[in-house]
Structure 1
Amino acid sequence: SYSSAGIFSSGKKTTSEDCLYLNIWTPNYNDTSDITSKNLPVYFWIYGGRFEGGSGDVLTYDGTGLAAKDIIVVTINYRLGPFGFLAHPELSAESGHNSSGNYGILDQQAALRWVHENIANFGGNASQITVGGQSAGSASALDSMWSPLNEGLVAGVISESGARGPHDPMTGSAATSHRTKVAAEAQGIEFLKELNVTSIKELRTTVSMETLLEYDSLSDTIFEGTQFANASAFFMEPPMWRPNIDGYVFPHDYTQSLLLDAHADVPILTGNNKDESGAEPDPGLTASTYNTLYQEVFQNFSEEFFKLYPGDSTSQANNNSNALYRDMSRIGTWQWALAWAEGGAKSPVYTYYFTRSPAENRGEGAYHGSELWYTFNNIPYSDYSNVTWYPYDYEVEEYMSNYWANFIRTGNPNGDGLPHFPPSTETKQTMWLGDSWGAGPISASEERIEFIKSWFATMPEW
């Protein structure tokens, strides 16, 4: 059974660095005499959890349902917290490539290489591996395109709750943001001081794994001293333990990678859920708190903000707080796709906006991760299989899993019997999935789109 962590937890309480195992689901082969000739597409899944928790054996990621659609599903594990992302000058010096702090990413890459070399023995096509993930796993899936160490291994990327424009402050609050190597090593130095040790050697010999695990949930204070400092309920700090631009695993940040054409040019499927990234069914705001909060957040932009998103009553404040964050999600992802094309990438980006509340807890809306049962074709296999799902949930599951399976097969989610899913273009639309199906607007008005774009343009790259 699950622990209280729910969708991202396997319910296990143990943690170990001896974690480099993976799970493989295949279709039920009637004839196993020549498995290597089947050449089925492969879905390589990276779990989320802020780079501090999670597991490849979570029932939410059970691959049985997708495997039934002739997809090979692989889920992996990788090191987390300080074990996966501690950077330090001493670690960089001993590495042989003057870098440190991306050990969790190197684990993912080692698993990807293993799959590339061995998946034919399970009926998979090594040249047709789509890397997917959600939340921190979504960041990792996107990261798989930027690293030269993955050259030739990635055929497509699925990024669920992932791709947002670099100037979108929600990028800063998520695991999709990156640290510089200098910042990561400086944090490592301070971390050793916190542990009262003076060197990596002393850390290895005197500090227990259990003690290190007490520090696996640290947050980075990048919003300290900014207009977002008092808006932590909506703009949460990113995890401190996350990837860094180390010059080896990641030579460049997102913008530089686009400018230099230093990335895999592969099809991408990415999007967000209705009730995440600050939006929720009941934000619990009053008109007073709404106006105080967003006056501070938007500062010189606040006059225009309140014209477009007024909060003169409690209901209006809550509705427009949600409208803001949902607009930011759709616009931020649309801008990411636009930058991808403007940077010279030829492969399409398909963006979506998921709106269905799952049976497991409908009161929380289409929350962070709620799409996973549907995309994995997983309702019968999850530990919520005993919950009463509506007949329409199974229709959503069939549509969503078919879109995902088609993309894994071809790099295009479209297929027979499905509403048309257009690729992202300059047209200000995204694909709405769940309670309705079809291309829909990224905001209710052109004025809101231009406002959000103008505000984003004043932000640093997060």
Structure 2
Amino acid sequence: MVYFPLLAGLAASRLVSGAAIYSRANRQVTTSYGTLQGGVSELNSNVNVYKGIPFATPPTDSLRWTAPTSPAPWSGVLNATTFGADCPQGASEVGIFTSGNTAISEDCLYLNIWTPANATATSKLPVYVWIYGGRFELGSGSVPTYDGTHLASKDIVVVTLNYRMGPFGFLAHPDLSVESGHNASGNYGLLDQIQASTFLRSEIAAFGGDPDHMTVGGQSAGSASALDMMYSPLTDGMIVGCIPESGARGIHDPETYTLATSHRDKDAAEAAGVEFLSTLNVTTIAELRNLSMETLLEYNFNSDTVLVGTAFENVSAFMEPPAWRPVIDGYVLPHNYGQSLSLNAHSDIPILTGNNADESGSSPSPGLTLDTFTTQYTEMFGNLSTRFFDLYPASNDSNANTLSNEMYRDLSRTSTWDWATAWYAGGAKSNVYVYYFTHSPPNQTEGVYHGAELWYAFGNIPTYYNLTWTEQDYALQEQMSGYWANFIKTGNPSGGNLAEFPATTSDAKQAMWLGETTGASYLTPGDDKFSFMQDFFAQQIEF
């Protein structure tokens, strides 16, 4: 595997010449840290974009595994027309979750801003802060899928950011906890996201944004991060809405532990950190900080102390969660998710969340035989298996696959409602809006795959991939980006000429179908399946 460190001297090369400053003065913005020279979006000349804005001091050398701090001011004019380096990860081609950026560096804490060209420091436009996914292992704010141009054209200031991942972002260790001053470690990636939001609170007005109206969103690990920001007391009063895509799931759903929504408790995380040092043949954090970025990336760490519960063991998890993930550390995250909801110990803000048809267990090609179907779900559902086979009665290999998908889709939708029910039961007053995405993008065989909704929510379907987009795709793009824009502006996705998007409540067991058809629909095709899923969740541990 090849890695591409950021070339030395990049920061110096980003100071633009006087001639460039003069000719592009209308896209200069002055912040508390210095002046930036932005550019025009390649997709819409009515949107300006500012790339590679430093929001923290580079977390390198002795600052590796420390909380981020404010960036140093710069003199001159900083060239903000190119993205900063991606945070440490394996090299990748450009894709739905990856940028193809060949610049990989620990000096990676940069953010990017898309804003209407006519925005001024007094515009006070709503702000949307996007956190990328990738199982806390890969991704960046420069991924083309997340280009903010289309949403910015709807009078929104869109921000994407980088954060530390893998061991750089989520290593806990007893010595790091002592060093922190908060007796906590392991959430450096989340602290990066919070630092970016803190930076934006003080600087976003210069780009036309309203510092008191910031919505945070993300997908997959970014969804988990957006929820963690909502759960964290460090963001109190900072955000007004949350859009976790794939998505908020119930606190008794085994998939919650499987996905990036998983976490580790502090003791287990620190024990894993001790083991990590041991396997690298170092004994101190100082020695660990002296190891190269490449050495840490190349070591594929997987520890039994990381995972509590395996597939179908008390059904606490369907599979192993990400090796590196957030920690219930008592500081960034004081409580687990169930406790946060029951105590109402979180920001009480509107939520727009949901899932896709072919993720979280469902797939166009599950590859099950009838025998495997019978064995697997007897084990999974235990004393509920007779009811399961009555509700999902497979008789051959073909309908075993179909019914397996139906079960996982029913489970997914019921799980999100279960989370919403816990939200309201704990005392939260803000609405939860739940979508269910059912449209398969063209020219592929993976169905409505994990991340398929991103093209449509961001409004980027025709931009970077040579796919055969149809009129239906374009119409769905306008519909979904319209719902997202409404929510970012008002905390309610309904508005304009769009069909009403109702809230999900304890009594309203519904989600908004978006895709082949649009409209609110019951979570499962019948109360019997809904009741079955509730009884299954009732037997699981609280997460």
TM-score above 0.5, yes or no: yes
CA distance in 2, matches of 1:253, 1:221: 16
CA distance in 1, matches of 2:361, 2:241: 29
Matching residue of 1:303: 386
Q: What is the correspondence of 1:280-359 to structure 2 with a 5 Å cutoff?
A: 280-359=363-442
**Alignment partner of 1:93 out of 178, 190, 206:** 178
Q: CA deviation at 1:373?
A: 0.7
Q: Are 1:427 and 2:508 matched, yes or no?
A: yes
Matching residue of 2:59: none
CA distance in 2, matches of 1:47, 1:180: 24
Matching residue of 2:309: 223
Question: Residue 448 of structure 1 aligns to which amino acid in structure 2?
Answer: K
Change (3 A) 1:203 1:302: same
Q: Are 1:375 and 2:457 matched, yes or no?
A: yes
Q: Are 1:460 and 2:541 matched, yes or no?
A: yes
CA distance in 2, matches of 1:228, 1:360: 40
Unaligned runs of 5+ in 2: 1-90
Question: Residue 221 of structure 1 aligns to which amino acid in structure 2?
Answer: L
Give runs of ≥4 in structure 1 deviating > 4 Å.
2-5, 216-220
Q: CA deviation at 1:284?
A: 1.2
- On the 8 A contact 2:113/2:158 being kept in 1, the answer is yes
SS at match of 2:225: helix
- On the 8 A contact 2:204/2:211 being kept in 1, the answer is yes
SS at match of 1:8: coil
Q: CA deviation at 1:258?
A: 2.4
User: After superposition, what is the alpha-carbon deviation per residue over 1:326-376, rounded to whole angstroms, capped at 9, x for unaligned?
Assistant: 011100001101111111101000001000111252x21111000001000
Larger of the two Rg values belongs to structure: 2
User: After superposition, what is the alpha-carbon deviation per residue over 1:303-331, rounded to whole angstroms, capped at 9, x for unaligned?
Assistant: 11111112221121001100111011100
Question: Residue 190 of structure 1 aligns to which amino acid in structure 2?
Answer: E
Matching residue of 1:83: 168
Q: Are 1:53 and 2:138 matched, yes or no?
A: yes
Q: What is the correspondence of 1:233-312 to structure 2 with a 5 Å cutoff?
A: 235-312=318-395
CA distance in 1, matches of 2:433, 2:129: 19
Q: CA deviation at 1:116?
A: 1.0
Question: Residue 344 of structure 2 aligns to which amino acid in structure 1?
Answer: D
User: After superposition, what is the alpha-carbon deviation per residue over 1:29-60, rounded to whole angstroms, capped at 9, x for unaligned?
Assistant: 1xx6xx11111100000000000110100000
- On the 8 A contact 1:82/1:215 being kept in 2, the answer is no
Matching residue of 1:150: 235
CA distance in 1, matches of 2:221, 2:479: 25
- On the 8 A contact 1:52/1:217 being kept in 2, the answer is no
Q: CA deviation at 1:228?
A: 7.7
SS at match of 2:355: strand
Q: CA deviation at 1:302?
A: 1.3
Q: Are 1:11 and 2:11 matched, yes or no?
A: no
Question: Residue 406 of structure 1 aligns to which amino acid in structure 2?
Answer: N
- On the 8 A contact 1:227/1:298 being kept in 2, the answer is no
Q: CA deviation at 1:427?
A: 2.0
Question: Residue 200 of structure 2 aligns to which amino acid in structure 1?
Answer: V
Question: Residue 524 of structure 2 aligns to which amino acid in structure 1?
Answer: S
Q: Are 1:213 and 2:300 matched, yes or no?
A: no
**Alignment partner of 1:177 out of 251, 262, 266:** 262
CA distance in 2, matches of 1:388, 1:114: 40
Q: CA deviation at 1:5?
A: 7.0
Q: CA deviation at 1:13?
A: 4.5
Instruction: Judge which range, 313-322 or 297-306, deviates more.
Output: 297-306
Q: What is the correspondence of 1:94-113 to structure 2 with a 5 Å cutoff?
A: 94-113=179-198
- On the 8 A contact 1:128/1:154 being kept in 2, the answer is yes
Q: Are 1:406 and 2:489 matched, yes or no?
A: no
Q: Are 1:446 and 2:527 matched, yes or no?
A: yes
CA distance in 1, matches of 2:414, 2:176: 39
Question: Residue 6 of structure 1 aligns to which amino acid in structure 2?
Answer: G
Q: CA deviation at 1:227?
A: 3.5
SS at match of 1:176: coil
Q: CA deviation at 1:194?
A: 1.4
> Which is bigger in relative contact order (C-alpha 8 A, separation at least 6)?
1
Matching residue of 2:79: none
Unaligned runs of 5+ in 1: none
**Alignment partner of 2:471 out of 370, 376, 391:** 391
Q: CA deviation at 1:216?
A: 5.9
SS at match of 1:364: coil
Q: CA deviation at 1:392?
A: 0.6
- On the 8 A contact 1:82/1:216 being kept in 2, the answer is no
User: After superposition, what is the alpha-carbon deviation per residue over 1:177-228, rounded to whole angstroms, capped at 9, x for unaligned?
Assistant: 11110111011111111112222122122x2211111246748433337448
Matching residue of 1:365: 447
Instruction: Judge which range, 331-340 or 299-308, deviates more.
Output: 299-308
Question: Residue 483 of structure 2 aligns to which amino acid in structure 1?
Answer: Y
Between Structure 1 and Structure 2, which shows a larger proportion of helix residues? 1
Aligned length: 450
CA distance in 2, matches of 1:192, 1:461: 31
CA distance in 1, matches of 2:394, 2:314: 19
CA distance in 2, matches of 1:187, 1:199: 14
Matching residue of 2:46: none
- On the 8 A contact 1:156/1:266 being kept in 2, the answer is yes
**Alignment partner of 1:23 out of 109, 112, 133:** 112
CA distance in 2, matches of 1:228, 1:346: 33
TM-score, normalised with respect to structure 1: 0.94
SS at match of 1:75: strand
- On the 8 A contact 1:227/1:296 being kept in 2, the answer is no
Change (3 A) 1:228 1:255: closer
Identity of aligned residues (%): 60
Q: CA deviation at 1:450?
A: 0.8
Q: CA deviation at 1:296?
A: 1.4
TM-score, normalised with respect to structure 2: 0.80
